[in-house]
C-alpha cells in the first residue's frame, strides 16, 4: 500500500482545509484508494480546537486581525495552537480501518513519526505522559517541538501535526499553546543550535518526516499522481 504525498508549499489555512475535506470524503468513498499525507506551511493563523478553554487566547480577535493573523475555529481535538511560515504542518488522511481503529493508537503513531524523523537529523526527542505532542528534554528543562490535534470521520483522519522547524515562534506569545501553562515552545533550528549540531534545513526535515510517517504506518511514500490530484481539486 502507498502513502501518497502532496506538498502544497505556503498555502492559506482555508484552502488546505478545503482540500482535506475533499480528500477525506474521497478516502471514505474509496475514490481515493490510498492514504494521503498533505504537507503545507500556513500564513499566520491561530486555530481553536474543540477543547479550547476560555482565556487561552490571550489577545482579542481584533488585535490578531491588526497583525495580519487569521483566527479559525476548527473541528480537531485539542486546544489553541499557532501556524506560521517556517512551521511544517502535516495532514495525514489515513483510513484507520486499514490500520488500527483506535485514535489513541493513531496519536502515538503520529508522535512516533515525528520522533523518528527528528532522530534522523540528530535530535533525540520524547513524549511526555499525559500530554500529546513531541518534546525535547534536558538539564535546561522541557521544550515542545510539535503539536498534534486530530479528527476522524468514519475512521478516516484529518488535521494532524504542526512541527516547528525554523519559524521564529513569536506568535505563540498570543496564546497558551495547547492549553499548557508555562510551556516553552521551540523549533528544530533552535534545538540544533542548543545541541551544537548543524541545522539540516527545512527540506531535510520534511523528507525525514515523509519517510518516517510512511515507515510507521507500513506504507510506501509516493508522490500524489496528477490524475488523482485532479479529482481532489
Catalytic annotation, residues = 178
Tally of CB atoms within 10 A around 73: 9
Residue 69 neighbours by CB under 8 Å, 6+ apart? 44, 45, 46, 171, 174
- The helix/strand count (H/E) of the chain reads as 6, 11
Burial of 112 (0-12, 13-18, 19+ CB in 10 A): middle
In this structure, what C-alpha cell is assigned to residue 177?
499553546
How far apart, in whole angstroms, are the C-alpha atoms of residue 47 and residue 149? 10
How far apart, in whole angstroms, are the C-alpha atoms of residue 50 and residue 61? 18
How far apart, in whole angstroms, are the C-alpha atoms of residue 105 and residue 94? 13
Tally of CB atoms within 10 A around 225: 12
In which residue are the cell numbers 513531541 written? 134
Q: How many residues belong to the chain?
A: 233
Amino acid at each position: 500500500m502507498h502513502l501518497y504525498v502532496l506538498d502544497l508549499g505556503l498555502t492559506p489555512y482555508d484552502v488546505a482545509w478545503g482540500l482535506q475535506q475533499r480528500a477525506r470524503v474521497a478516502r471514505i468513498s474509496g475514490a481515493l484508494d490510498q492514504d494521503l499525507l498533505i504537507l503545507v506551511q500556513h500564513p499566520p493563523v491561530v486555530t481553536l480546537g474543540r477543547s479550547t478553554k476560555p482565556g487561552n487566547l490571550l489577545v482579542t480577535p481584533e488585535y490578531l486581525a491588526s497583525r495580519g493573523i487569521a483566527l479559525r475555529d476548527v473541528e480537531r481535538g485539542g486546544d489553541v495552537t499557532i501556524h506560521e511560515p517556517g512551521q511544517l504542518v502535516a495532514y495525514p488522511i489515513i483510513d484507520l480501518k486499514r490500520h488500527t481503529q483506535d485514535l489513541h493508537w493513531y496519536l502515538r503513531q503520529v508522535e512516533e513519526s515525528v520522533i523518528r524523523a527528528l532522530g534522523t537529523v540528530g535530535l533525540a526527542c520524547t513524549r511526555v505522559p499525559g500530554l500529546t505532542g513531541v518534546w525535547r528534554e534536558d538539564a535546561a528543562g522541557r521544550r515542545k517541538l510539535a503539536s498534534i490535534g486530530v479528527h476522524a470521520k468514519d475512521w478516516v483522519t484529518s488535521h494532524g501535526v504542526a512541527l516547528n522547524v525554523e519559524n521564529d515562534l513569536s506568535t505563540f506569545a498570543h496564546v497558551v499553546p495547547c492549553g499548557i501553562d508555562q510551556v516553552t515552545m521551540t523549533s528544530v533550528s533552535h534545538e540544533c543550535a542548543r545541541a551544537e549540531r548543524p541545522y539540516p534545513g527545512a527540506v531535510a526535515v520534511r523528507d525525514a518526516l515523509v519517510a518516517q510517517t510512511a515507515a510507521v504506518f507500513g506504507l510506501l511514500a509516493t508522490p500524489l499522481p496528477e490524475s488523482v490530484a485532479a479529482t481532489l481539486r
